[in-house]
Amino acid sequence: MASADIASAVGPLLLGTLISWLLMGIYTMQAHAYFMRYADKFWIRSLVITISFLEIAQWIILTADAWYYLVTNWGNLAVYFIIPWPALVLVVLCGISSMIVQSFYAWRIWMISYDAWLLRIAAFVIEGLSLMQGCSAITGAVLVFQRPTEAEIARRHRFFDAWLIGNLATDSLISFCMLWILFKARNSTHWQNSKLMFDKLIVNTVKTGSATTIIAALTLILFDLFRDRNYYGTTFNFLQKLYSISLLANLNARQKSGTSRVEEEPQMNFSDIIIRTSTSTHASSSNQDENQNATYPSLRALQERSFPSGISKTLSSSSRTKS
């Protein structure tokens, strides 16, 4: 085996492992900030805990995979034709993590857009694509595990293509729906402060959504164009980290809106700003409030449906205090 072939086999693994270690530090900071600042419902905190366990498992197994190639079997050219079990487990973990995170976004889009049937259909499509890509990743990894060779990966290529294409399509649709909601809400208010808050949320959505979309697309391109090389391993080895960081970044974004250590739904990244816009308008003028209620009749229903009773009362008390 030529030195160029060895470099193409272990080089992407080395780069992917280094980037994954860096992203693990970022994820740890995000997770620490979440558990210190927020007291969400039990199932939401359980979801974050589950994602955290998956991230720790991915971190350990990826390091073991790099150790297998770069230390234990250094100089043994035969190992480059065999796929070790840690590499296949990484595919399963990435498929599960992306499926969980995408399902969470689908639920949030469903809850926020309860009065928009088009977005509800989009939420169904997102969930279906998420389940498809996750199952494709798991199925492909299990089939290759029976004959762990590069030739078997090429033979089961369609499963991994379905996984990566499904990831790309799901991430793109999620980003589009979230941006559509934010731009619609931004255009519905005449208050400059509210527009600035929406601008910040739009920028945050673009940053977190584009990261997973771009890396998923790049992994797909490298996987299809260079079938005899492992270049895709660089991006694949830290793709899972981006999904988890995206989830926590959106949950922690509530701090920027002034909420902390309260029992609330995580989709308030969007609706909290909408309700606060409505509250500010009411505090400014009762006539303007009547006009806004007539223009945006779903705001009160959104507040009653999205907020727990404690938060709704808090917002109402704040409005009366300002008036």
Which percentage of the chain shows pLDDT scores above 70?
A: 71
- The answer to whether 306 and 271 have CB atoms below 8 angstroms apart is yes
pTM, whole model, 2 decimals?
Answer: 0.73
Nearest to 244 by CA among 92, 47, 107: 47
Domains in the chain, number: 2
> Can you give the CATH number for the domain in which 233 is found?
1.20.1070
How confident is the model at residue 5, as a pLDDT? 64
Quote the CA–CA distance of 252 and 248 in Å, as a whole number.
6
Q: Is 94 in the same domain as 170?
A: yes
How confident is the model at residue 9, as a pLDDT? 73
How confident is the model at residue 37, as a pLDDT? 87
Q: Is 172 in the same domain as 297?
A: no
Q: Is the dihedral of CA 300, 303, 304, 310 positive or negative?
A: negative
How confident is the model at residue 300, as a pLDDT? 39
Q: Is 36 in the same domain as 111?
A: yes
Q: Is 302 in the same domain as 232?
A: no
Domain that holds residue 307: 268-322
How confident is the model at residue 93, as a pLDDT? 93
Q: How confident is the model at residue 18 (pLDDT cuts 50, 70, 90)?
A: very high
* Phi, then psi, of 149 in degrees rounded to 5: -130, 165
Q: Is 52 in the same domain as 156?
A: yes
For residue 220, pLDDT beyond 70: yes
Q: Is 232 in the same domain as 272?
A: no
Q: Residue 149 forms beta bridges with which residues?
A: 82
Quote the CA–CA distance of 70 and 73 in Å, as a whole number.
6
Does 263 fall in a domain?
Answer: no
